[in-house]
Structure formats: structure tokens, C-alpha cells
Chain A
Amino acid sequence: MSARRLPGPAQSFRLVTLAFGALLMVTPFLYMLSTSFKGQQYVLKLPPQFIPDPATLSNYERILLRGDFGHYFANSLIVAVVSTTLAVLLSAMMAYGFARYRFPGRELMFRLLLIGLMIPAMMLIVPQFVLAKFFGVLDSLVGLIIFYVAGNLALNTFLLRGFFEALPGELDQAMQIDGAGHWRRFWNLALPLARPALATATIFTFLATWDEFAWALTIITTPENQTLPIAVALLQGPKGTQWGLVFAASIIAILPVIAVFLTFQRHFVQGLTAGSVKG
């Protein structure tokens, strides 16, 4: 066994710099975690407590047992899961249609999708509100889902089309000769092969819908239809916010996101770079 090379001064400097930066990135999170275990009289105490003393579970108790956070959590989960499933399925179908078939107007339609990709979501919030009112879906989870699906189509279609185009055509032709129809070739051949790209699309869409704030703030008016970001934001009092409570709720709201991120890290890198390769 060869002896490991000791880090040189350049290497040590590199690690120290990185560690210092990482500390700056993580400290706010740790402080938030710490505050979520503090009683209200300690949250703005000077000097600040990094280790809560006395530590209390009362914030979590209030959020989990007495509040409606279980309900908001369920709303967020329903909205995120249904929107993600529909958005990824519809995007995959579109991407497949654009990648596998030639038809007049194809380029034009794809260009239109790209414009949709560039338009910031907030630009459309006023007319979308008018539209949602017209459909009668204001203040409902359905109203969230419809517009979350629509808002995530362009990016996912763009991402998946590249992937479908790269799939070899021979397999497709072989299945066609065996008499498999269009849908079967899509469902049983293209989709399974596109699994990595689908995973990326799924994760990004899930996170986007789970965290979405502006649209939910705009159309949701009754507490029972609130999703987590709205519920957390509304914990801010007009005067004297209960910070312990706010951060206990925040921790609960971000745990699923962090879990998804840690589990599927690999796909994050792929998804992020898919957009940048073309430059």
C-alpha cells in the first residue's frame, strides 16, 4: 500500500476556503433548525443561542398537532404529485411527437414552445387569473394543478425531445414490423429507454410545484385550500412573528425537498446541464 500524499499548501488553502464558504452556506439552515426548538422569549435574545437552552418541542407540537399543517402538507403533496405526473406524461408525448414524426408546422410549434420557455411565469399571472376565473377554478387545487402542468410543459418537452431524438431508430422500426402500434412503441419502448431523462424531468417539476408561491398566493383564498408555502408565509404576524413556529413549519416544508435532492443528486447535474450544452 502506497503512502497517501500529504496535502500541499495549495491544497490546504483550497480546502479551507471551500470549508469556510460551505459554513456560510449552511449556518443559516442550522440557525433556523436551532430556532425551531426555541420558545418565543428566546428567539431574538442577545447574545443569540446557537444551542437552544431550554430546548422545547412546543413549536413542532403546535404545528403538527394543533395546526392544520397536516392538511396543508397533504394539499401540497396532492398538487405536486398530480401536476408532476400530468406534466411529465404530456411533455413526454409532445416530445415524442416532435422527435419521431415529420409534419408541416412542426418547427413553428416548437418555436412557440421555446417562447413559452423564455416568458417569465409572473408575466402571465394577471391574464391567467382572469382565465382561471372564467373556468371557475379560482380557490381550488384544480386551479393550481392546471396551471402548474401548463407552466412546466415547455421546459420538459425541450429536455425530453433531445433525448428521444438521440434514441436509435432501428428498435422502433423492428417493433413496427412486429405490428406494434404508435402508442405501444411510445409506451413500451421509448418511455422505458428515456428513464434517466424522465427522472430528471420528474424531480425538477416536483420541486417547482412543491415550492410554488406566487400563483397559489393569488388564487387560493380559503385556508383549507392552502399549500405549504402559503401557510408558512402566513404564519408571519402583522407584528411580532413567532419565529420558532415559522421555522418549525419551514423545516417540515423543506424536509421532502431535501430528501428528494439528496436521493437524486445525480439527476440534478444532468438536468441542469441539458439546458446549457447548447449555449
Chain B
Amino acid sequence: MKLWRTYLPPALFIAPGFLLFLVCIVYPMLQAIQMSFFDWKLVAGAASTFLGLDNYVRAFNDPRFWLALSNSGIYMAFTVPPQIALGLGVALLLKDKGPAQPLFRVLYYLPVVTSWVVVSLLFKYLFADRGLINFALDDLLGATDKISWLAERWTALVAICALGVWKGIGWSMMIFLAALQGVPKELEEAAVIDGANRRQRFGAVTLPAIWPAMIFVTIMLVIGGFNVFASVLVMTNGGPGGATEVLLTYMYRQAFEFLDFGYGSALAVILTLIVFSLSAIQLKLFRNPEATR
């Protein structure tokens, strides 16, 4: 009776949301793992065959999987550092409150709130053969060869990465901007009195103070980098000939184009493991105080 009294109210507050969470998020999480061990048949009545680790072995021997994985890695490597550097740079330039600060903040953040579909279409248009980018390169900078950006692997990846950086700068800027407000003024002033120059002050005062934000931004951007999907789907659809396929577009194609749900799930599990272990590694590295220097 007493137990009933104590635990009923929290249960009623938590149950509706938590049940939905269990059914729609936790259960699919477990089922993804289960499905990855099967040749999974979606059709009612058709029997799914247990394959053990076959889907994982298949991924290991699938050159297209490795290509997709390397494309995802390339995307991550070429979008994360610029977003951190440029986001931090803009935040440092913007940190002193001035009349123009709110306007700049809005302008830099605008791409972040715009839907991926819209900005992907926009960049596809800008990087078209007769688009604005080629015009700028040809006629303003004097390059003579027109580049068919989206028709080849590396140039297409450049366009996709450019979109990723352009869309993401505002986000990291906003986080760094908030973190910079927390840098203790006294320390800054003390460093000035001690004769520290701009760079020394940044290394000794600013960077340690915004370090938690740096960890957060880096981890979130790495996760986001491996989650690249809509921009690739819209800009190249993985083409030409699968050359720009990233992990998620490849997984999506396996599942919803070839209806190979088991293999698709195995790819999803692999990606989750990669993302989790990368986050864990980064946390370890960042926790090491030596790394703050």
C-alpha cells in the first residue's frame, strides 16, 4: 500500500514517454543487432535464415563497403578540422559585444537552421557545370578547364565537404561564443600585466577555459561527420557509379533498394560501433591533461 503511494506518481509521469522510448528506440536498437545476424525477410510468412556472422564477413570482403567507409572518413577528416578552426576563429572575432555582433551571429548561423535538402540542392546548383563556382573559377580566377564537379569522385567529395563546412561553421561558432563568455576576465588581465602576447594569452588563458566546449564540439562533429547522408543522397546519390557512396547511403541502398535488411542492419551496427569507439577514444585523449597544451 505504502509502496504503491510512493512509486505511482513518478511512474505515471515517466511511463508514457518512457514506454514510447522503449518501443520506438530501444527495441529497434536491439532488433538491429538481431537482424544483422539474419538474412532478414520483410514479407510476412517468409522465413528469415540465421546467418551468424556472415553479414559482417560479407561487409569485410565488400570493396564497396570499404569505399563507402573511406568516403565517410574523408568527409569527416575534411569537414571537422575546418569547422572547429573557422568556428573558433569567427567566435574570437565576434566575442567582443558590438553593434554588429547580433547581425553577424545571425548571418553565420543561417545555414545551420536551413534544411539539408534545400542546401544540398543549392550546392548542387552552385557546383553545376555551368554554375556559379565554375564561373568564379573560370572567369574571375582565369582557370581554363571547366570542372565537372559532381561527375568524379574527388571533385564531388570536395563539393560535398564544402557544403558540410559551410553549413556547420555557425554551429561551432555559437558553442565557442558561449564558452568564450565564461573566460575569466581577471586571468586575461593578469596575463596582459605579465606581458603575455596575444598568442600566449590564447594558449594559457583562453584555450584551457574553453576546453570543455572544444571536447563537446569535436565529439559532436565527428559523430555528425559519420552521419553524413542527405547531402550525398541529394547531390550525387552516391554516383558516379557508387564512387561517392558514404556508409549511410550505402546502408540505405542495401536496405531499401535491394531489400537486404540483414546486411543493411549489419552495416548500421558497424557504423554505430565505429562512432562509439571514436567518441570513447576522443574522451580518453581529451581527458589526458597533457593534451591541453
On A, residues with C-beta under 8 Å from B are 14-15, 17-18, 21-22, 24-26, 28-29, 31-32, 35, 43-48, 90-91, 93-94, 96-98, 100-101, 103, 109, 112-113, 115-116, 118-120, 122-131, 133, 146-147, 149-151, 153-154, 157, 182, 186, 207, 210-211, 213-214, 218, 228-229, 232-233, 236, 241, 243, 246-247, 250, 253-254, 257-258, 261-262, 265, 268-269, 272-273, 275-279
Contact = CB atoms under 8 A, between A and B. Distances in A.
Nearest to A261: B113
A124 B32 contact: yes
B252 to A, nearest CB: 7
A26 B21 contact: no
Contacts of A91: 17
A238 to B, nearest CB: 11
Contact of A93 (B16, B115, B131): B16
Interface of B: 6-7, 9-14, 16-18, 20-21, 23-29, 31-32, 35, 42, 86, 90, 93-94, 100, 102, 104-111, 113-119, 121-123, 125-126, 128, 130-132, 135, 139, 166, 169-171, 174-175, 177-179, 211-213, 215-217, 223, 226-227, 229-230, 234, 248, 251-252, 255-256, 261, 264-265, 268-269, 271-272, 275-276, 279
A118 B279 contact: yes
Most A-side CB within 10 Å, residue of B93, B135, B177: B93
A153 B21 CA distance: 7
10 tightest Cβ-Cβ pairs between the two chains A and B: A279-B212, A97-B13, A150-B24, A90-B17, A101-B10, A127-B28, A211-B115, A97-B14, A127-B31, A273-B178
B121 A250 contact: yes
Contacts of A186: 13
Nearest to B261: A126
Contact of A269 (B131, B178, B216): B178
Interface-central residue, A113, A210, A218, A273, by most chain B CB under 10 Å: A273
Contact of B27 (A131, A229, A253, A269): A131
A233 B229 CA distance: 14
A4 to B, nearest CB: 11
